[in-house]
Chain A
């Protein structure tokens, strides 16, 4: 009897685990990967998804099983078993979730470190003294993300971003370009220095798996390295007023040559104007 139960339990658990992994691999749950950040994110997503599916299917299965197996049949009288507690069992289901949660926490810490999130941005505050008297730059993802991808050899592209109701403006110090679209070359690290003119906005590119609030009064930095050419939406994710839903732009990831052409075509050429 006990052996039979054990075999059933193990085979059902295995089925659920395999099902979870299959579902993650075969369902199209996330947008395309277009930055060095995104594959790391998807790794974390996969782990969380599999753990989540196992837990959800497991508990739902137990509930449905109990409702069918232990339902009161017509004519049955009396109560169920008078079991009030079971200490080993309770210790088991306190300890196992604690270990799982600790594992998830440490694993996501590792993921975050690989994304460059744990790097303090205030350490390079001297670069930004001019724009922030408090010597503090706010941001989510630091510069290590480029080191991780080996993009260290390439110089980073600085772009100043101004967010206002209801648009993003991209200012390229190199070439004095002000653009409504963000153009970036594939494979080269990009550093956005973002400022808001009015309320809180947010910069979100789903294909990059990156988001950062743009906070008025506090210069905010976000770094990323695009890895796949294409046009991806830039979405404002923080409620910013009546036209919040329309506050969108596009990031165009191009091959480095195309990017240089775009930069040349659009940059101000003082000698021509004179």
Chain B
């Protein structure tokens, strides 16, 4: 039996690839370059989406519609949702960290399909630019990120069509990425490395990619049918022509509920990498973590109709989706208890990475609790489409995924750049983000329970004070990006040199130089069979020695 190691291909593929900073704006095939391209590109879109959020919060300072024109307000909220989901969170938790880390974790020199990988990234900037420029040319889509017909059929067609085309491009990019991750994780593993020895992020990405490949095509098909309804006046979803609007909702949520897991499962994986390193303990309950990821994948595909409890779904369907949705709390709960157990008895370094990860746990637990409540049909009937739901999903996608993105940047920045980030600025960033976020979104639960619907520019004057408090929180969140940006730029230029493995971590990306060379390791890829082998009184059998710098 012959064991084949990844071939060393130094000095033969570099001729066509630019070097230096130019490679970051080129069609580079290096997974690390592509990962950072995703990250920087996503962050730029995050800032744009953040400005739009700011516009929404300024409009809501007063109970009357006075800051933005009414149709502009609807365009702004549509763009905010679309940008934050499809151009920031999905590409960054999957594309950025997935591309950077997965080849290291499986012991490969690159992704399975490097060219497809570069194509997947380069579909994103044009899609994003098209979406944003549509606002300046003909007006952007104004039917929300859900684009429910008949509203999406009756609002100005140009903006809606641009929206559909860019979401199709972004969906295509996501599918390319998903196929690439599945192939890399299953087929490019270093000889001798078993599936159950992989770092947890690989499992999270495998589960996520399965969801991407199964559900994104459904969204693409749905949006193509919707575009026929708009352009060719077909009647798939147009009740005036005998179409059915509920069918659209089923198809849309068949993708868009799994999309929530596409945004949070990779985040779960990243947290599982960060917590053991900084608490110097093995990841607690590796096996149950793997099974719970797969449990979430399976359950995640059969819960979509809980978004439609007020749409007139039949009773049996409501009952089924209530129970299925509630049960997602079980595998998710396992993961949270395992993280707490990972921290328990550790030797925790209190730094920005661990603070953002713990902030994520606290926020996500609250979002999860309101999620289980929303899964209950009678509860949902009152608060569906209100600020309660707005608060809930911001706790999931911002309090969850975005906190993890920041945590991951603090954790892997030394690997990306070879420089350390400033901890003081990092802790200021965390404090501002955590306080601002909770100040912004916690009061919104009350708004929803008491009668404020979502997606409105005007509201009952009794809600003015709470909305103003919420806007102050949003201002703090906006301010929190300043120390972060300063930290990123200043540390890159003048930061302390990090060395190869500043955290003394055991996962394979730390067992090479910072930043790593083009083919990841100068020699043979290391075999890491115990990626979480921390702890007192143990020999790290099979693992390379800790400090290599």
Chain B residues with Cβ under 8 A from A62's Cβ?
340, 344
- Chain B stretch 118-154: residues in CB contact (< 8 A) with chain A: 142-144, 148, 150-151, 154
- Report which of B280, B330, B450 forms a contact with A80, defined as CB distance below 8 A: B280
Chain A residues with Cβ under 8 A from B386's Cβ?
237
Closest Cβ of chain B: how far from A1's Cβ, in Å?
15
Check A154 for interface membership: any CB of B closer than 8 A. no
Q: Are B74 and A242 in contact (CB under 8 A)?
A: yes
Chain B residues with Cβ under 8 A from A109's Cβ?
319, 322
Chain B residues with Cβ under 8 A from A30's Cβ?
449-450
For the complex, what is the distance from the CA of A200 to the CA of B155, rounded to whole Å?
13
- Report which of B315, B327, B354 forms a contact with A119, defined as CB distance below 8 A: B315
- Chain A stretch 238-274: residues in CB contact (< 8 A) with chain B: 238-246
Chain B residues with Cβ under 8 A from A120's Cβ?
314-315
Q: Are B361 and A59 in contact (CB under 8 A)?
A: yes
Comparing B95-103, B253-261, B374-382, the segment that makes contact with chain A is: B374-382
Check A182 for interface membership: any CB of B closer than 8 A. no
Chain A residues with Cβ under 8 A from B330's Cβ?
94, 97-98, 101
For the complex, what is the distance from the CA of A119 to the CA of B316, rounded to whole Å?
10
Closest Cβ of chain A: how far from B66's Cβ, in Å?
12
Q: Are B458 and A108 in contact (CB under 8 A)?
A: no
For the complex, what is the distance from the CA of A199 to the CA of B532, rounded to whole Å?
54
Comparing A8-16, A40-48, A173-181, A184-192, the segment that makes contact with chain B is: A40-48
Q: Name the residue on A nearest B142 (C-beta).
A: A242
Q: Are A101 and B245 in contact (CB under 8 A)?
A: no
Q: Are B377 and A108 in contact (CB under 8 A)?
A: yes
For the complex, what is the distance from the CA of A217 to the CA of B459, rounded to whole Å?
29
- Report which of A44, A212, A217, A235 forms a contact with B378, defined as CB distance below 8 A: A44
When A30-B450, A210-B382, A240-B151 are in contact, do A218 and B312 touch as well, CB less than 8 Å? yes
Chain B residues with Cβ under 8 A from A44's Cβ?
376, 378-379
Q: Are A115 and B378 in contact (CB under 8 A)?
A: yes
Chain B residues with Cβ under 8 A from A235's Cβ?
451, 453
Closest Cβ of chain B: how far from A125's Cβ, in Å?
13
Q: Are B310 and A211 in contact (CB under 8 A)?
A: yes
For the complex, what is the distance from the CA of A97 to the CA of B326, rounded to whole Å?
10
Q: Are A138 and B385 in contact (CB under 8 A)?
A: no
Q: Are B334 and A242 in contact (CB under 8 A)?
A: no
Q: Name the residue on B nearest A118 (C-beta).
A: B315
Q: Name the residue on B nearest A245 (C-beta).
A: B456
Q: Are A239 and B74 in contact (CB under 8 A)?
A: yes
Chain A residues with Cβ under 8 A from B190's Cβ?
none
Comparing B285-293, B466-474, B492-500, B509-517, the segment that makes contact with chain A is: B285-293
Among A30, A52, A79, the most chain B Cβ lie within 10 Å of the Cβ of A79
Chain B residues with Cβ under 8 A from A115's Cβ?
378
For the A-B complex, the count of residue pairs with Cβ-Cβ distances under 8 Å equals 282
Chain B residues with Cβ under 8 A from A216's Cβ?
150, 239-240, 245
Chain B residues with Cβ under 8 A from A204's Cβ?
385, 453
Cβ contacts B312-348/A at 8 Å (1 or 0 each): 1011001100110011011001101110110111111
Chain B residues with Cβ under 8 A from A226's Cβ?
none
Q: Are A81 and B315 in contact (CB under 8 A)?
A: no
For the complex, what is the distance from the CA of A206 to the CA of B148, rounded to whole Å?
24
Chain A residues with Cβ under 8 A from B347's Cβ?
70-72, 76, 78-80
Among A89, A209, A239, the most chain B Cβ lie within 10 Å of the Cβ of A239
Chain B residues with Cβ under 8 A from A108's Cβ?
322, 376-379
Check B409 for interface membership: any CB of A closer than 8 A. no
Q: Are B245 and A211 in contact (CB under 8 A)?
A: no
Cβ contacts A25-68/B at 8 Å (1 or 0 each): 00001110000000011001100100110011001101100110
Q: Name the residue on B nearest A141 (C-beta).
A: B381
Q: Are A85 and B288 in contact (CB under 8 A)?
A: yes
- Chain A stretch 79-97: residues in CB contact (< 8 A) with chain B: 79-86, 89-90, 93-94, 97
For the complex, what is the distance from the CA of A160 to the CA of B74, rounded to whole Å?
30
Closest Cβ of chain A: how far from B542's Cβ, in Å?
15
For the complex, what is the distance from the CA of A206 to the CA of B448, rounded to whole Å?
9
Q: Are B455 and A97 in contact (CB under 8 A)?
A: no
Check B541 for interface membership: any CB of A closer than 8 A. no
Q: Are A246 and B379 in contact (CB under 8 A)?
A: no
Q: Are A93 and B334 in contact (CB under 8 A)?
A: yes
Q: Are B281 and A83 in contact (CB under 8 A)?
A: yes
Chain B residues with Cβ under 8 A from A240's Cβ?
151
Chain B residues with Cβ under 8 A from A45's Cβ?
379
Check B113 for interface membership: any CB of A closer than 8 A. no
Check B26 for interface membership: any CB of A closer than 8 A. no
10 cross-chain pairs, A with B, having the tightest CB-CB distances, nearest first: A82-B535, A217-B239, A138-B312, A245-B456, A80-B346, A108-B376, A206-B451, A242-B70, A79-B280, A245-B458
The residues of B with any CB-CB pair to A shorter than 8 Å are: 65, 70-71, 73-74, 142-144, 148, 150-151, 154-155, 239-240, 242-246, 279-288, 309-312, 314-315, 318-319, 322-323, 326-327, 329-330, 333-334, 336-338, 340-341, 343-350, 354, 358, 361-362, 365-366, 369-370, 372-373, 376-379, 381-382, 384-386, 446, 449-451, 453-460, 532, 534-538
The residues of A with any CB-CB pair to B shorter than 8 Å are: 29-31, 40-41, 44-45, 48, 51-52, 55-56, 59-60, 62-63, 66-67, 70-72, 76, 78-86, 89-90, 93-94, 97-98, 101-102, 104-105, 108-109, 111-112, 115, 117-120, 122, 138-141, 198-200, 202, 204, 206, 209-213, 215-218, 220, 233, 235-246
Besides A104-B376, A216-B150, 7 other CB < 8 A contacts?
A56-B365, A90-B337, A93-B337, A138-B311, A215-B311, A239-B151, A239-B455
